[in-house]
């Protein structure tokens, strides 16, 4: 297949080229995101586009792709909230994704954010580099013995539950589809309200959809325990960021670790260090000492990148060969 790879970073090129040695597709890498403006850069006779989390493919854009002969959209990620799948289905454009790459990559990043917050690692590191060896203000909290509430126990939530049980945490969870592996670990399934009341730490692992958009809002934040720590490695819009900032300012939320941000599309995955930040909400968030933001890097491990690239191209090989593809959304 001739595949236009949008939002392609140098590391995407490296891993996709490596995976393509076995698949033999023709890859055209484009650093820009896919949108109405960049549609013009679609190479002639492209059979498929390969896109990432911040390429928003609405119905008009998918229609324009179909009119240019594109018959498949390959998401090189698990979440698919950014693609209008019913619109693609109606146009006969197949949509494939990578549902199951190393869930440990994201689970371990959630843990890294949590541990860094509980033990003030960024401040401690900055201090020591500055020759300041004082411990004042660095009093930590132990993870052992804490109650952690997982919102969503799919692949990533289950991987994190496994780690947290090993760390001596009590794990409670809410999920419309409880998972036997979690029950086997001793995870207690409760309602969202009960989870919010019980958890010292709330970690989000649900997809973004109409039910979960702003699931963490002023009301649900108020229902959480005073001093709660919030971790979000799912999708930015699961959290109402303004409400979170208010709760952090009041001290009701003691700390937040965020790998995703609802306004991340114009910011993340590029070096903007020389540009004046225009997003006031993000600027406020960044200015809080008890917040750690990483720029959607939870998936970004060598193991996960190799798997994502291999599965993405294998999905398209199956579509090309007319074979059934278990990773197809339509
Ligand atoms: P998954 O599909 O295996 O699990 C999602 C779980 O959420 C399911 O068990 C589902 O039943 C549950 N769920 C759905 N609605 C819910 C609700 N309202 N409340 C509670 N639970 C609900 O997905 P996964 O592989 O575990 O990934 C979870 C999410 O993590 C993805 O949808 C994606 O948005 C995000 N993600 C982020 C990164 C990153 O780099 N930060 C990487 C991969 C995935």
Task: Compute and round to an integer the Cα radius of gyration of the chain.
Answer: 21
For ligand 1, atom 14: residue with the closest CA: 206
Catalytic residue among 25, 97, 120, 296: 296
Q: Quick one: tokens of 167?
A: 């760390």
Q: Residue 224 C-alpha to ligand 1 middle, in angstroms?
A: 21
Q: Please state, as a whole number, how many other Cβ atoms lie within 10 Å of the Cβ of residue 30.
A: 17
Q: Quick one: tokens of 143?
A: 């993870």
Q: Residue 119 C-alpha to ligand 1 middle, in angstroms?
A: 27
The vertex-144 CA angle with 197 and 250, nearest 5°, equals 45
Q: Is 76 a catalytic residue?
A: no
Query: Where in 30-135 does DSSP place strands (E)?
Result: 48-51, 72-75, 94-96
Residues facing 328 on adjacent strands: 96
**Ligand 1 pocket check for 263: Cβ under 6 Å:** no
95 three-class SS: strand
Greatest CA separation found in the chain? 64
Q: Spell out the per-residue pLDDT of the chain, length 330, in tens.
A: 999 999 999 999 999 999 999 999 999 999 999 999 999 999 999 999 999 999 999 999 999 999 999 999 999 998 899 999 999 999 999 999 999 889 999 999 999 999 999 999 999 999 999 999 999 999 999 999 999 999 999 999 999 999 999 999 999 999 999 999 999 999 999 999 999 999 999 999 999 999 999 999 999 999 999 999 999 999 999 999 999 999 999 999 999 999 999 999 999 999 999 999 999 999 999 999 999 999 999 999 999 999 999 999 999 999 999 999 999 999
**Ligand 1 pocket check for 235: Cβ under 6 Å:** yes
**Residue-wise burial string across 116-139, b where 16 or more C-beta atoms lie within 10 A, e elsewhere:** bbbbbbeebeebeeeeeeeeeeee
**Ligand 1 pocket check for 178: Cβ under 6 Å:** no
The vertex-309 CA angle with 303 and 315, nearest 5°, equals 130
Q: Is 56 a catalytic residue?
A: no
- 29 phi and psi, to 5 degrees? -90, 130
Nearest to 54 by CA among 10, 21, 1, 9: 9
Catalytic residue among 108, 262, 264, 307: 264
Nearest to 243 by CA among 226, 212, 213, 219: 219
Residue 151 contacts residue 176 (beta carbons within 8 Å):
no
pTM value is: 0.93
Residue 189 contacts residue 178 (beta carbons within 8 Å):
yes
- DSSP assignment letter at 216: B
User: What is the spatial distance between Cα 71 and Cα 58, in angstroms, rounded to a whole number?
Assistant: 15
**Ligand 1 pocket check for 232: Cβ under 6 Å:** no
Ligand 1 atom at minimum distance from 159 CA: 26
Residues facing 29 on adjacent strands: 5
Q: Residue 209 C-alpha to ligand 1 middle, in angstroms?
A: 10
Catalytic residue among 120, 155, 235, 262: 235
User: What is the spatial distance between Cα 326 and Cα 97, in angstroms, rounded to a whole number?
Assistant: 10
**Ligand 1 pocket check for 175: Cβ under 6 Å:** yes
The vertex-209 CA angle with 208 and 210, nearest 5°, equals 140
Q: Residue 48 C-alpha to ligand 1 middle, in angstroms?
A: 26
Q: Is 141 a catalytic residue?
A: no
Torsion of Cα atoms, 23 then 29 then 33 then 34, to 10°: -60
């Amino acid at each position: 297949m001739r595949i236009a790879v949008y939002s392609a970073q140098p590391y995407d090129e490296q891993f996709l080229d490596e995976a393509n040695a076995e698949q033999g597709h023709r890859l055209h890498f484009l650093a820009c995101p896919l949108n109405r403006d960049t549609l013009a850069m679609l190479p002639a006779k492209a059979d498929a586009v390969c896109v990432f989390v911040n390429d928003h493919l609405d119905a008009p854009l998918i229609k324009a792709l179909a009119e240019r002969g594109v018959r498949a959209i390959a998401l090189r990620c698990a979440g698919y909230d950014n693609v209008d799948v019913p619109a693609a289905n109606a146009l006969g454009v197949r949509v494939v994704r990578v549902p199951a790459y190393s869930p440990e990559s994201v689970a371990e990043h959630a843990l890294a954010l949590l541990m860094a917050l509980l033990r003030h690692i960024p401040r401690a590191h900055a201090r020591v580099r500055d020759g300041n060896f004082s411990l004042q203000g660095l009093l930590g909290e132990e993870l052992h013995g804490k109650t952690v509430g997982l919102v969503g126990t799919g692949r990533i939530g289950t991987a994190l539950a496994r780690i947290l049980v090993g760390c001596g945490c009590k794990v409670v969870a809410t999920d419309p589809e409880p998972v036997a592996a979690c029950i086997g670990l001793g995870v207690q399934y409760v309602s969202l309200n009960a989870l919010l009341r019980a958890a010292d730490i709330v970690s989000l692992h649900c997809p973004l959809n109409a039910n979960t958009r702003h699931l963490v809002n002023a009301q649900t934040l108020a229902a959480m325990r005073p001093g709660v720590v919030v971790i979000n490695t799912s999708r930015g819009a699961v959290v109402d960021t303004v409400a979170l900032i208010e709760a952090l300012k009041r001290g009701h939320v003691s700390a937040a670790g965020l790998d995703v941000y609802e306004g991340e599309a114009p910011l993340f995955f590029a070096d903007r260090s020389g540009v004046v930040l225009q997003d006031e909400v993000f600027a406020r968030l960044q200015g809080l000492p008890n917040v750690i933001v990483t720029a959607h890097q939870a998936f970004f491990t060598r193991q996960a990148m190799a798997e994502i690239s291999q599965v993405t191209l294998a999905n398209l090989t199956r579509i090309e060969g007319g074979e059934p593809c278990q990773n197809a959304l339509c």
